[in-house]
């Protein structure tokens, strides 16, 4: 029995193809409403920033119940500007999880600061504050919890940790728009939070986009200046600025999609629940939901047989993903840091054992059941 694990099962490979993601269902739901307005943008020529982006900022601030939202051209830019306005720069250290998408750390590096990698929780993959406690130095200025895969980080512990060490708290909510922690939307808990609207994110643009969520109006005004060449007044540049404006077309598409987001997240929860039920009896670590809420950006299972399961599912026309196969401390671009030689056992286990199963708005129950049956077929070959 054990030896047959991972053998292809020909009878079972019905010709259902399951892509990892498919954005077409979202498009079909907004198309009628958004197409005429897209033509208006071309007529008006409001391509860069403009009224569509401002309307989206207002709608998003209302959705998040946050005082201010500053739209930018990517989640990476949002994080960069958050570090700039937090006054974090050369000589400063920022504690970040070792298991996240690389963009969590680009922004602090652009600002001139150094990342200090921290291990993650074994059950959720979010930052492990007990480990962070051992990493604090006189140079530590900030900590970045990542609401990984759509689940809030353990914010009670993170908030307490930041307060004890007098650190700036910047939330990376790129994967978790709409997830709530203690009744509040993630990203709107700390003084600064960042979102990404990369097309594959739960709220995805028709291109790139991002936003900084801000509690303080003066900080929001500075962010608006920084994203547009450091100018508050046209052609007067009060500080080093950036061209991080959002496209008008993205503002339009995102505002339309935002109206559907809760319904789309509800379907993601339904699909995740179905996976949790259908995969429950397999020798597989299923995602743990412990921090209040989850919007299921990714559904990541873990098994020491990850690579073989990945191939087996590909052989059954099922696309899966690796998020992320190389933890940050092992990335070639950080080979010069002393962290490269250290061990972060739980981050390393997520990297080597995690496999993301397809889960997207528009996925049918039949597609999900097909994936679940194939996973069963891998662990329990019928012959
Ligand atoms: C997607 C993502 C980002 C960056 O967003 P971009 O819009 O792609 O620049 C940052 N952090 C995390 C955790 C992400 O998943």
The Cα–Cα gap between 224 and 240 comes to: 13
Interval between CA 62 and ligand 1 midpoint (Å): 22
Q: Which of 101, 108, 356 to mutate to test the pocket of ligand 1 (most atoms within 8 A of CB)?
A: 101
Q: 105: pLDDT confidence band, cut at 50, 70 and 90?
A: very high
Backbone φ and ψ of 223, nearest 5° = -60, -40
Interval between CA 76 and ligand 1 midpoint (Å): 6
Q: Which of 21, 71, 100, 104 to mutate to test the pocket of ligand 1 (most atoms within 8 A of CB)?
A: 104
Structure tokens at 302: 């873990």
The answer, yes or no, to whether residue 55 has pLDDT greater than 90, is yes
**How many percent of the chain have pLDDT more than 70?**
95
Q: Shortest CA distance to 206 belongs to which of 252, 175, 265, 172?
A: 252
Interval between CA 13 and ligand 1 midpoint (Å): 35
Interval between CA 103 and ligand 1 midpoint (Å): 5
The Cα–Cα gap between 227 and 245 comes to: 6
Average pLDDT, the chain: 95
Q: 293: pLDDT confidence band, cut at 50, 70 and 90?
A: confident
Q: Are 151 and 291 in contact (CB under 8 A)?
A: yes
Q: What is the mean pLDDT of residues 81-108?
A: 98
The answer, yes or no, to whether residue 216 has pLDDT greater than 60, is yes
Classified as helix, coil or strand, 211 is: strand
CA 274 to the chain's CA centroid? 22
Q: What is the mean pLDDT of residues 185-204?
A: 98
Under DSSP, the state recorded for 87 is T
Q: Which of 79-93, 137-151, 293-307, 336-350 has the lowest mean pLDDT?
A: 336-350
Q: Are 78 and 195 in contact (CB under 8 A)?
A: yes
Pocket of ligand 1 (CB under 6 A): 74-76, 100-101, 103-104, 146, 172, 174-175, 196, 198, 208, 210
The Cα–Cα gap between 216 and 192 comes to: 9
Report the predicted TM-score, pTM, of the whole model to 2 decimal places.
Answer: 0.95
Interval between CA 233 and ligand 1 midpoint (Å): 30
Q: What confidence score (pLDDT) does residue 163 get?
A: 98
Interval between CA 50 and ligand 1 midpoint (Å): 24
Atom of ligand 1 nearest to the CA of 208: 7
The pLDDT tens digits of the residues spanning 126-153 come to 999 999 999 999 999 999 999 999 999 9
Structure tokens at 115: 């990342």
User: What residues are paired with 108 via a beta bridge?
Assistant: none
The pLDDT tens digits of the residues spanning 252-270 come to 999 999 999 999 999 999 9
Q: Are 242 and 28 in contact (CB under 8 A)?
A: no
Q: What confidence score (pLDDT) does residue 340 get?
A: 82
The answer, yes or no, to whether residue 12 has pLDDT greater than 70, is no
- Taking only Cα atoms into account, the Rg of the chain, rounded to an integer number of angstroms, comes to 21
The Cα–Cα gap between 118 and 100 comes to: 11
Q: Is 43 exposed, middle or buried (0-12, 13-18, 19+ CB in 10 A)?
A: exposed
């Amino acid at each position: 029995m054990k030896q047959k694990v991972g053998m292809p099962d020909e009878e079972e490979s019905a010709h259902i193809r399951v892509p990892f993601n498919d954005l077409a269902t979202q498009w079909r739901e907004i198309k009628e409403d958004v197409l005429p307005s897209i033509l208006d943008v071309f007529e008006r020529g409001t391509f860069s920033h403009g009224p569509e982006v401002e309307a989206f900022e207002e709608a998003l601030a209302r959705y998040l119940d946050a005082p201010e939202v500053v739209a930018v051209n990517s989640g990476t830019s949002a994080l960069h500007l958050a570090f700039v306005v937090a006054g974090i720069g050369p000589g400063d250290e920022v504690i970040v999880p070792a298991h996240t998408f690389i963009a969590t750390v680009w922004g602090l590096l652009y600002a001139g600061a150094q990342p200090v990698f921290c291990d993650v929780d074994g059950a959720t993959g979010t930052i492990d504050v007990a480990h962070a406690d051992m990493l604090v130095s006189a140079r530590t200025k900030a900590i970045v919890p990542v609401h990984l895969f759509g689940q809030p980080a353990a914010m009670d512990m993170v908030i307490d940790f930041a307060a004890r060490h007098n650190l700036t708290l910047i939330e990376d909510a790129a994967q978790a728009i709409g997830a709530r922690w203690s009744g509040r939307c993630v990203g709107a808990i700390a003084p600064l939070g960042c979102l990404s609207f990369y097309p594959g994110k739960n709220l995805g643009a028709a291109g790139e986009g991002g936003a900084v969520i801000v509690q303080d109006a003066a900080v929001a005004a500075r962010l608006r200046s920084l994203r547009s060449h450091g100018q508050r007044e046209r052609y007067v540049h009060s500080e080093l600025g950036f061209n991080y404006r959002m496209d008008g077309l993205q503002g339009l598409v995102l505002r339309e999609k935002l109206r559907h987001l809760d319904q789309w997240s509800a379907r993601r929860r339904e699909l995740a629940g179905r996976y949790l039920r259908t995969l429950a009896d397999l020798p597989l670590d299923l995602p743990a939901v412990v921090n209040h809420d989850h919007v299921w950006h990714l559904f990541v299972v873990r098994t020491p047989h990850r690579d073989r399961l990945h191939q087996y599912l590909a052989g059954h026309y099922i696309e899966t993903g690796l998020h992320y196969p190389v933890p940050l401390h092992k990335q070639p671009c950080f080979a010069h840091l002393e962290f490269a030689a250290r061990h972060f056992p739980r981050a390393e286990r997520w990297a080597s054992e995690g496999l993301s199963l397809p889960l997207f708005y528009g996925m049918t129950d039949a597609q999900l059941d097909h994936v679940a049956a194939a996973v069963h077929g891998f662990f329990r070959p019928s012959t």
